[in-house]
Structure 1
Amino acid sequence: MRSNYIFTSESVSEGHPDKVADQISDAIVDLFLSKDPEARIACETLTTTQLVVLAGEIRGKGIMDEAGNWAPGVKEEVEQAARATVKRIGYEQDGFHWETLRFENNLHPQSAHIAQGVDESGNKDEGAGDQGIMFGFACDETPDLMPATLYYSHKILEKMAADRHSGAAPFLEPDAKSQVTLKFEDGKPVAATTIVVSTQHARGYDEGDKEAELHACVKKAIADVIPAALLSDETVYHINPTGSFEIGGPDGDAGLTGRKIIVDTYGGAAPHGGGAFSGKDPTKVDRSAAYVARYLAKNVVAAGLAKRCTIQLSYAIGVAEPLSVYVDTHGTGTVDEAKLEAVLPQLVRLTPKGIRTHLGLNKPIYSRTAAYGHFGRKAEGDLFSWERTDLVEKLKAAL
């Protein structure tokens, strides 16, 4: 493991076209789980100029029957949830407006062949919703045990969105991207070398005094988020480096669910299994197993057993138990990784049902996850339960 290096991560705002798609997909997940906690959902969203398209497979009581007939009023609720999401983000532009965009709903019943492998029946435990590998990661670079480059990239855009929604910066529009490059010494961030922010803006804010006002707003957001000790006269800022960014969001570029998986997770600081999260109910291990892997890795670091921890889980469709559990503490651990691999499955049953039960995932809690990262968030009641560190004492006792 290198101790001295320069590393970069990026984030995108809630108004980025791919994030608009993610948030719509998760709004549908929440809608259906509120009607049936055992609902099965795989909802993909496409966004482009004045258009939102849904596609995917669903199943659930009070939602849709096996013949594809919608329960009374539910189809209308789906469209309302999509439009409400676009409105909350703030799109009221000619090229993408929550009220006037065209909407297509192509959701249909889940395949019976998938259902027979996943559903619990008789002596058969609930199986994984698909095969695949999932990773969890934690490190001691920030209080929330996240990679610092991604953590600050998220926070810059969150601050700018808050300023936009509050009216403090009405010239900011919803679409934005950030990128933070940090210099590390002895494995700790010591300086921000380069910060990039590109933000959609109102007409005229690409020249003269208005451009200066936008730049000052962005720099203030950066200064509010990144510790002063990391910023200096040597920090290089690239703010709207192309000059103008008036046309953005789905009008500027098509968006799809699941295209920002590195932004959603660890900013490139850890491996990724390739599966997206948004639009999927928690029987899909792409989502639930990635959440529990983060939960376990975070508790390992919070317990002081390592400064960095990567956990991999793997599954086969229709099979309940994971095929493998792998732990890597990157040379920073105080206990043997093999011991952790043996102990962690004893603290949390790593079957799809065991994960959902332990973390309380069969609830409408997903819309909040779909922008600014699924990890490094504050656990609040039912929200972000995988960010709790309630295994620390049990973990120490077991070792």
Structure 2
Amino acid sequence: MRNDYVFTSESVSEGHPDKVSDQISDAIVDLFLSKDPEARVACETLTTTQRVVLAGEVRGKGMIDKDGHWEDGAQEEIQHIVRETVKRIGYEQAGFHWQDLLFENHLHPQSADIAQGVDSAGNKDEGAGDQGIMFGFACDETPDLMPATLDYSHKILERLAADRHSGAAPFLEPDAKSQVTLRFKDGVPVEATAVVVSTQHKAGYHEGAQDAELKAYVKKAVGEILPAGFVTENTKFHINPTGKFEIGGPDGDAGLTGRKIIVDTYGGAAPHGGGAFSGKDPTKVDRSAAYVTRYLAKNVVAAGLAKRCTIQIAYAIGVSEPLSLYVDTHGTGTASDAALEAAITKVAADKLGGLTPRGIRTGLGLNKPIYAKTAAYGHFGRKPEGDLFPWERTDLAEALKAALA
């Protein structure tokens, strides 16, 4: 591991066109799970100028009947959820308005060939919804045990969105991006060398006194988010570096579900298996296995067993048990990585019921409508509250230490 370096991560706001798509897809997942905890959903969303299009495959009581037909009122409920999601984000613009946008629903019943491989039957346990590799990561750079560059990038945009919704920054519009570059010394972040914020704004806020007001507001918000001393005379700010940013969101660029997977996870500080999360029910290991590996990696770091921890897991479609489990503590572990692999396997079996798709989703309580909240500002580094973000708990720390004793 290098000790002295400069690293960058980016985030995008809830109003970014890809994030609008993610939030709509996850709102559909929540709708299906609210009616049937065993629902199957793979929902993709396209957003563009005054249009939202859904496609994918679904199955669930209360929405699709046993013959594969829509239940009465189901499609109207889907459309209502889509419009309410866009309204909550704040889009009431000529090019994208929650009330006026055109909506198309091309969701269809789940393939029977996929269903027979994934569903439990007889002595066969529920299998993975697809093949693939998933990664979890944690580090001690922030109290949330997340990479600092990504954590601060998220928090800057959360602050801008909160001020926009409250009216404290009425000149802001929903679409925004941030990027934070930090200098690390002895492996610890010590200074922001660059901060980039591009935010959609009301008409006129790209020139004169109004431009100065917007830039002063963003600098103040950044200074309040970053730790004391991180903004120095060496910090370079790039605020709306292209100048005017009035046309944004799906009107400025098309959005698709699943295109911000690095923003969703670790900001480039850890590997990614390539599978997106949003729009997928928890039988899909792209989502559930990424959550459980984050859960396990976070508990390793929270237990003081490593300063950094990466976990990889792999599955085959229709097969319940994982093909492999790999742990890398990057030379920071207090026990060998092989010993941690054995401890993690034991603790997962004892506390979750194993690392099968069923064990993960029942052990973490994933069969609930908890996903719309995940679809902006990262799936990780969030506060576990009630049923939300159960993979962010650190309640396995003592069990992991005991398993290594």
TM over 0.5: yes
SS in 2 for 1:43: strand
Contact kept in structure 2, 1:135 and 1:271, CA below 8 Å? yes
Q: In the TM superposition, what are the counterparts of 1:268-347 in structure 2 within 5 Å? A: 268-347=268-347
Is structure 2 residue 373 aligned with structure 1 residue 368?
Answer: yes
SS in 2 for 1:230: coil
Contact kept in structure 2, 1:96 and 1:250, CA below 8 Å? yes
Q: Give the AA of the match of 2:256.
A: L
Q: In the TM superposition, what are the counterparts of 1:1-399 in structure 2 within 5 Å? A: 1-65=1-65, 67-348=67-348, 349-399=354-404
SS in 1 for 2:387: coil
Q: Which moved more, 1:283-292 or 1:117-126?
A: 117-126
C-alpha separation between the residues in 1 aligned to 2:249 and 2:320?
A: 40
C-alpha separation between the residues in 2 aligned to 1:217 and 1:258?
A: 31
C-alpha separation between the residues in 2 aligned to 1:19 and 1:347?
A: 35
SS in 2 for 1:192: strand
C-alpha separation between the residues in 2 aligned to 1:63 and 1:339?
A: 46
C-alpha separation between the residues in 1 aligned to 2:65 and 2:237?
A: 54
Shift of 1:342: 1.3
SS in 1 for 2:83: helix
C-alpha separation between the residues in 1 aligned to 2:39 and 2:264?
A: 24
Number of aligned residue pairs: 399
Q: Deviations over 1:35-88 (max 9, x none)?
A: 000000000000000000000000111211354311111111100000000000
C-alpha separation between the residues in 1 aligned to 2:68 and 2:173?
A: 39
Shift of 1:347: 1.4
SS in 1 for 2:327: strand
Which TM-score applies when normalising by structure 1?
A: 0.99
SS in 2 for 1:228: coil
Contact kept in structure 2, 1:303 and 1:392, CA below 8 Å? yes
C-alpha separation between the residues in 1 aligned to 2:242 and 2:3?
A: 34
Contact kept in structure 2, 1:67 and 1:109, CA below 8 Å? no
Shift of 1:204: 0.3
Contact kept in structure 2, 1:65 and 1:109, CA below 8 Å? no
Which TM-score applies when normalising by structure 2?
A: 0.98
SS in 1 for 2:229: helix
C-alpha separation between the residues in 2 aligned to 1:67 and 1:210?
A: 59
Q: Give the AA of the match of 1:139.
A: C
C-alpha separation between the residues in 2 aligned to 1:210 and 1:395?
A: 54
C-alpha separation between the residues in 1 aligned to 2:320 and 2:68?
A: 28
Contact kept in structure 1, 2:135 and 2:310, CA below 8 Å? yes
Shift of 1:323: 0.2
**Gaps (5+ residues) in structure 2?**
349-353
Contact kept in structure 2, 1:177 and 1:199, CA below 8 Å? yes
Instruction: Show structure 1 runs of 4+ deviating over 4 A.
Output: none
C-alpha separation between the residues in 2 aligned to 1:382 and 1:140?
A: 25
C-alpha separation between the residues in 2 aligned to 1:339 and 1:381?
A: 32
SS in 2 for 1:269: coil
Q: Give the AA of the match of 2:80.
A: Q
SS in 1 for 2:218: helix
Contact kept in structure 2, 1:66 and 1:109, CA below 8 Å? no
SS in 2 for 1:229: coil
C-alpha separation between the residues in 1 aligned to 2:52 and 2:246?
A: 21
Percent identity, aligned pairs only? Answer: 79
Contact kept in structure 1, 2:346 and 2:403, CA below 8 Å? no
C-alpha separation between the residues in 2 aligned to 1:220 and 1:283?
A: 43
Shift of 1:294: 0.2
C-alpha separation between the residues in 1 aligned to 2:386 and 2:357?
A: 21
C-alpha separation between the residues in 2 aligned to 1:26 and 1:46?
A: 13
Q: Deviations over 1:265-324 (max 9, x none)?
A: 000000000000000000000000000000000000000000000000000000000000
Instruction: Note the aligned Cα RMSD (angstroms).
Output: 0.6
Partner of 2:351: none
SS in 2 for 1:86: helix
**Gaps (5+ residues) in structure 1?**
none
Shift of 1:6: 0.3
SS in 1 for 2:99: coil
